[in-house]
Amino acid sequence: MGRLNSPEELERFRSEILSQRDVRQPLITVCGGTGCHASGCHQVVDAFRKVMEQHAQGNGVGLRVTGCHGFCERGPLVVIHPQKVFYQKVKPEDAAAIFEKTVLKGELLEHLLYDHPATGEKIGKEEEVPFYKKQMRIIFGNNGSIDPQRIEDYLAVGGYRALAKALFLMKPQEIINEVKKAKLRGRGGGGFPAGVKWEQCRNAPGEIKYVVCNADEGDPGAYMDRSLLEGNPHSVLEGMIIGAYAIGSHEGYVYVRNEYPLAVENIGIAIRQARDLGLLGRNILGSGFDFDVKVSRGGGAFVCGESTALMASIEGNVGEPRAKHIHTVISGLWERPTNLNNVETWANVPVIIDRGADWYTQIGTEESKGTKIFSLVGKVNNTGLVEVPMGITLREIVYDIGGGIPGGKKLKAVQTGGPSGGCIPESLMDLPVDFDRLTEVGSMMGSGGMIVMDESTCMVDVAKYFMNFLKDESCGKCTSCREGTKRMHELLTDITEGRGTLEHIDLLEELGWVTAEASLCALGGTAPNPVLSTIRYFRDEYKEHILNKRCPAKVCRALLKYRILSEVCTMCGRCAKACPSGAISGKVKTKKQEGIPFKIDQEKCIKCGMCFEACKFKAIEVE
Amino acid sequence: MISFMMDGQPVEGKEGGNLLEVALDAGIEIPHLCYHESVKPYGACRLCLVEVFRNGRSRMTTACTYPVQNGIEVHTGTEKVLRARRMIMELILAMCPGDKKIQQMAQEMGIEEVRFKKEEKDCILCGLCARVCDEVVGAHAIQFASRGDRREVTPPFGEEAKNCIACGACVLVCPVDVIGMKEEGDERTIVRWKRTLKMKQCKVCGNYFAPWFQVEKFREKAGLPKDFFDVCYSCRG
């Protein structure tokens, strides 16, 4: 296919693609997202290929490796169309049976179906799985039906229709008005109204303007931008082209971390394919509008997700933030007006233009419209990526979608917003999730990390973990952030190791205040959140560590005390063998000799927990 | 000129200027470590915090990086500002408890004890040395390396600073005097950057007065005649 020179040619090409596709024809889709990749989806794909090559009817069946479906916990995922049969935890050896029984005969393979966690009932279709039921997948939904390396698949689901509409039926200001009306807010964490930003950039003086896509997602455990860029790169690209047209920019950058190799590869392929079809580059769709995109690969510094540090990095400088008293929409990349939005924000744009702001604003709360993709991880049954309407409660996300807490344990807190977000306690689980509510309770939306914690999580330890991350990832420029995060980590370490005093809590609060107030960028501005929010909601747990030298969750090793219950001890001696510090003494009982119950010398014990794990008789108690 | 209020007094600053220079000109004392008039403001030490009221909203910001603007109201000594500055000073003192200048500044700000574990660093990471080397000298011999609490100023790979011309500008601007320069015979050494260079001898008095690299670089940069540096500064008359 050559260049498309008009919207009519685009539609003709789309009809051509659709006419070659028969939705009634069997199609096997295998999730090729990062999670399924890790659990071996490519061996499954190879197995399907082999089976289909050898089978007489193999030719009539399609096989497609798609983007991430989100239910990573249960990968590799396979969906058989047209019936939409949903198989989870598929192994290469299942390929033959799936092909012969399900694809050809329409029979279900019981052992690959998902069991309803409450009723134990087998669920046959993807949309009936509780994990998907309460989601609203307007941005992420196409991931599961397209091969991200084929632009035809994106066109088949209506791709680039919004671009044609924007270029030929709307004026730049109308596009901006539509985005403003949709109340689209930046999904990277700031929540700044995208339309307002676009307008400021459009009105900024200067011929050369840039648009940038921030794909430097760096939160531990968060991977929604990664999966979107890997799974549906054209949706991000289309959003950028529409934005560039509205702003009056002809050059854009996708800043993506090199640790996301598949995202780098797929966006690169998407750019080339869009260029070849005349959807990117000179004279897009014959409209006279020029815009092209370059990929800039980042070295993986967390701080480069901060807009000014990211721009410095694209320029080839050290990724260090600078003061934004003159906003980046006036003077950003190479001191030109620059509009930066993150992956998910850009992916929202085609949806808004295509379906209109009136439709879009029906979703969400008063000030936060649309959906948000969260990376639901931690102590929750259904780990994965979930897209939910703004305003859904944390409880619905954790219990209805996430399937609750494993092992019958109690929910303790949910940490939102990545490493510099806050911990929201169980008592606030009915909080509607949107930008402003999360900020009110001392956390933030961030880019969408959501870590579920149960009763076996120590909140002081959690704060210490995040502070350790931040003290390493702070760029180190501002004294308040570099020294503040380091000292907060030091104080938290003291508390978890039994050296804490009540003054430690006061000092943490004071340091937290200074780090947030005195630092230049949002990294320092939000860095104390994990500390301040855990002190706010779990002060008693801090006090327990300090006053009674006890860790209620039994996590902080230095505060634990291991003891052998002599009445339970079978005198087998496994604990003594496992002990690396020779702290356990006793005498093994055999047929020939009487034993002596084993004992731990507290002076020598290094609290490693090896004995606890070695004991088969639950004779070792942790205090 | 741009006019605004600072601590209740009307002040003026030139377009493109910053709050700190206006304050210093007006005789208002604001502690600072990473600011120097010969290089661009950087905002690393965070000591020069002030509170700026603009459009009915207040925010704390570093005076050195905040551009002068008509109609703003700046307060350099509010309770909030002093509280933050004191903590930052304490953090710096905990990092470099041996620095005389830091000790003195901390004392002036009323810090009597350090509530953190004392470290034994000497450099306060203000970056003035690297910025002077970049912006004024143009030698680009040293730079910041690493992130977070591992951050340091260093020549490439921590080896001898091969681009260093031993001009000593970094030694001069360092607020805590930890770079070190010594001259022995016909050699000058910049101690911290492990750089030793031969010096040029004055044709008149016979003294060694500046490293060869330095005089050549300056001569080229200023377009001076070849024999300009044959005679030292004192003998030039």
pLDDT for A95 equals 94
Q: CA A376 → CA A184, A303, A403, A432, B57, distances in Å?
A: 23, 23, 11, 16, 37
Q: CA A366 → CA A203, A299, A370, distances in Å?
A: 28, 38, 10
Residue A336: pLDDT band with limits 50, 70, 90:
very high
Q: Mind listing the pLDDT tens digit for each residue in A499-542?
A: 999 999 999 999 999 999 999 998 999 999 999 999 999 999 99
Chain A 430-489, CB below 8 Å of chain B: which residues?
A: 471-480, 482-487
Question: Is A52 in contact with A63 (CB distance < 8 Å)?
Answer: yes
pLDDT for B237 equals 67
Domain A24-129: CATH superfamily is Glutaredoxin (3.40.30.10)
pLDDT for A417 equals 87
Distance from A477 to chain B by nearest Cα, in Å? 5
Provide mean pLDDT across the span A9-28: 92
Q: Mind listing the pLDDT tens digit for each residue in A351-388?
A: 999 999 999 999 999 999 999 999 999 999 999 999 99
Residue B112: pLDDT band with limits 50, 70, 90:
confident
Question: In terms of Cα–Cα distance, which of A494, A497, A499, A484 is closest to A529?
Answer: A484
- Answer yes or no: do B150 and A476 touch at CB < 8 A: yes
Distance from B67 to chain A by nearest Cα, in Å? 7
Q: Does domain A145-360 have CATH number 3.40.50.11540?
A: yes
Which among A487, A501, A510, A521 is the top mutation candidate for probing chain B, defined by the most B β-carbons within 10 Å of its own β-carbon?
Answer: A487
Mean pLDDT of chain B: 93
Question: In terms of Cα–Cα distance, which of B8, B126, B118, B109 is closest to B62?
Answer: B126
Give the one of B46, B83, B124 whose C-beta lies nearest to A478's C-beta.
B46
Question: In terms of Cα–Cα distance, which of B39, B37, B38, B63 is closest to B49?
Answer: B63
Residue B147 CA to residue B143 CA, distance in Å, equals 12
Which class does domain A560-622 fall in?
Answer: alpha beta
- A620-622 and A596-600 beta bridge pairing: unpaired
Question: In terms of Cα–Cα distance, which of A236, A281, A277, A278 is closest to A17?
Answer: A277
pLDDT for A116 equals 82
For A569, the token pair is 């001890």
A385 in B contact zone (CB under 8 Å)? no
- Residue numbers in B near A482 (CB within 8 A): 125, 148-149, 151
> Nearest-CA residue of chain B relative to A471?
B148
Provide mean pLDDT across the span B63-89: 95
A517 in B contact zone (CB under 8 Å)? yes
Provide mean pLDDT across the span B207-218: 88
- Residue-wise DSSP of A183-237: T-B-TTTT--BHHHHHHHHHHSS-S--EEEEEE----TT--HHHHHHHH-HHHHH
Provide mean pLDDT across the span A281-306: 94
Residue A129 CA to residue A131 CA, distance in Å, equals 5
Mapped onto helix, strand or coil, the DSSP state of residue A479 is helix
pLDDT for A426 equals 93
Question: In terms of Cα–Cα distance, which of B173, B131, B138 is closest to B41?
Answer: B131
pLDDT for B221 equals 85
Question: Is A113 in contact with A86 (CB distance < 8 Å)?
Answer: yes
Q: A115-129, A207-221, A256-270, A391-405: lowest mean pLDDT where?
A: A115-129
Q: CA B112 → CA A145, B103, B104, B107, distances in Å?
A: 66, 10, 11, 7
Provide mean pLDDT across the span B39-64: 94
Which residues are A251's β-sheet partners? A210, A292
> Nearest-CA residue of chain B relative to A509?
B87
Give the one of A476, A490, A514 whose C-beta lies nearest to B147's C-beta.
A476
- Residue numbers in A near B124 (CB within 8 A): 479
Interface pTM, i.e. ipTM: 0.93
Give the one of B61, B87, B146 whose C-beta lies nearest to A510's C-beta.
B87
pLDDT for A541 equals 96
Angle of helix A479-496 relative to helix A459-473, nearest 10 degrees?
150
Domain boundaries, chain A: 24-129, 145-360, 371-454, 459-547, 560-622
pTM of the full predicted structure?
0.89
pLDDT tops 90 at residue A220:
no
Q: Does domain A459-547 have CATH number 3.40.50.880?
A: no
pLDDT for B47 equals 96
Mean pLDDT of chain A: 93
Report how many Cβ contacts below 8 Å link chain A to chain B: 99
Chain B 54-113, CB below 8 Å of chain A: which residues?
A: 60-62, 65-67, 80, 83-84, 87-88, 91-92, 94-95
- Answer yes or no: do B91 and A318 touch at CB < 8 A: no
Give the one of B45, B83, B146 whose C-beta lies nearest to A479's C-beta.
B45
Question: A24-129 and A560-622 share one CATH topology?
Answer: no
> Nearest-CA residue of chain B relative to A474?
B148
Distance from B87 to chain A by nearest Cα, in Å? 7
pLDDT for A593 equals 86
- Answer yes or no: do B149 and A482 touch at CB < 8 A: yes
Q: Which residue has the tokens 């014990």?
A: A605
pLDDT for A489 equals 97
Amino acid present at A390? M
- Residue numbers in A near B66 (CB within 8 A): 323, 325
pLDDT for A422 equals 87
Residue A622: pLDDT band with limits 50, 70, 90:
confident
DSSP A520: S
Give the one of B117, B127, B148 whose C-beta lies nearest to A473's C-beta.
B148
Domains of chain B: 2-108 (3.10.20.740), 128-230 (no CATH)
Q: How far is CA B55 from the centre of its chain?
A: 33
Give the one of A320, A477, A517 whose C-beta lies nearest to B84's C-beta.
A517
Going along A274-418, which residue ranges are E strands?
292-298, 338-342, 371-378, 384-389, 411-416
- Answer yes or no: do B44 and A318 touch at CB < 8 A: no
Distance from A517 to chain B by nearest Cα, in Å? 7
The CATH code that applies to domain A371-454 is 3.10.20.600
- Answer yes or no: do A475 and B61 touch at CB < 8 A: no
pLDDT tops 80 at residue A1:
no
